[in-house]
Structure 1
Amino acid sequence: MKLVRYGAFGAEKPGLLDANGTLRDLSGKVDDIAGKALTAASLAKLKALDPATLPAVPGSPRIGACVGDVRNFIAVGLNFADHAAETGAAIPAEPILFNKAPNCIVGPDDDVIIPKGSVKTDWEVELAIVIGDGGSYIAEKDAMAAIAGFCVCNDVSEREYQIERGGQWAKGKGCPTFGPLGPWMVTTDEIADVQNLGMWLDVDGVRVQNGSTKTMIFGAAYLVHYISQFMQLDPGDVITTGTPPGVGLGFKPPRFLKGGEVVTLGIEGLGTQKQNFVPYKG
């Protein structure tokens, strides 16, 4: 299934895409694509529905973040061997974890706001994991069963805040609008091999990232297992898993977003995003 949230920001409704790409309303079946609606039992009920019996959504509504009410937005740093190489960093012995602020999450095509005073706003196409049943101390062999699905994330980053301002990476990762998710969450049964998906990102129509999840240092199942050793993973938590090479920080000289750029990105089988980057005007 491809699960979608659509409508005005903060008032999104749940939906799904049928086999013909028609958006169908799930409001009569589930309150939101969030929390307990993402458990295996709940997803099984949704999969049993005949999409043709659901109301078609008219027009072309805004597509929101594909997961609502995210309480834990966990990110993994330097998790692609080729990205670590471009930054000159050593391969981590264990996953590097940090948090993105859950309230930075926006829809896949919403504007991204460059923060006040930013000089080093950067892009990162990433595979995101959406937790289903979750739990603590999940064995790696059981980790895929704990996942509800996958989606595209742009892990927008402010490198000066992240690297030069001291302390945790979170400073440069959780600014408002820095977490576009979607356009949809694809359930695990539709992804034959999550560790072999093409990934790409363009800035103003020029390809800057062109990679694959096959170069991830720590795969999706291992990350769920590993993170669950340190915290409880709950339904609807999101883990974004790192980026392939081609980020602005890796250019020589580095290249960053100033405002006015259009960024498009996507992952094989998971859809595409398109964002206008706009300067802060508050």
Structure 2
Amino acid sequence: MSQAMLGLTADQVVSAMGLPDAAIVNQRVPKKMLLENGVPTAADRKLIQDHIEQVTWVAALKPANAGVPDFQDEQRTYLEVAVLTVAMRDLGGLTANSTKVKRISELLHRAIPYPLVVVLSEGEHLFMSMCHIRWAQKEADKTVLDGEPLFATLTADEFCSAFLEALAMSQQPRTHLCTLYQGWMDTLSAWQAAKVSGRFALSQSTAHAAERRAALQRCRELDARIASLRSAASKEKQLARQVAANLEIKALIAERQQAANIL
């Protein structure tokens, strides 16, 4: 039976990362830790209680067990990179842009003061999330998210094998833990880019990876704008306004193609 028929699992993704045995922890993270950290709202607390089945701290990558130096500068201190799996339940109607799953992953990034690789699953649905953290400017010893979390839906498609192979720790930069983590983020960005470009290719450089992330974000923004205009145009009764909307849609599609070419 093919992998596409079987689907992609959290265990497959973690196994593909090729984590050193010495870094494996496999400890359950109590919900209490999430409820008490990250300043969750009442709605967040309900989300955690109702939809998280189990959080497992799979691995803690440190210089001593991973052979990768730590990293410190004025903005951040990376002494450890953690890999977590999250089993979810009763979410229903999952889509690639599920706000519930994204929020759960964000709460984890906020609650645990380490750079996290989070693999989330619910039934046949699988997601991956990463986000850099930095020191808070006004609170000593507090960390905050450094930008929006990188979040993607993982599926067993034509890019799956290449993605899993590229995910291996042995394929990532190992200058220090920050570059290792960024390497995994860039690999996930390559997966996202493949959904648009139709081919899986790793970034050629740090600059290319940043350019690719910006292009992906622009494609998402343009897709939303195009969808909105098409919806409005379909309801418009005045011919002149229909023509104007269609011309704008055409221009946006051309701009999206330019952004997609970067990928």
TM range (shorter): under 0.3
Provide TM-score, normalisation by structure 1: 0.25
Larger Rg, first or second structure (1 or 2): 2
The answer to which structure, 1 or 2, has the higher relative contact order (CA under 8 A, 6+ apart) is 1
Which structure carries more helix by proportion? 2
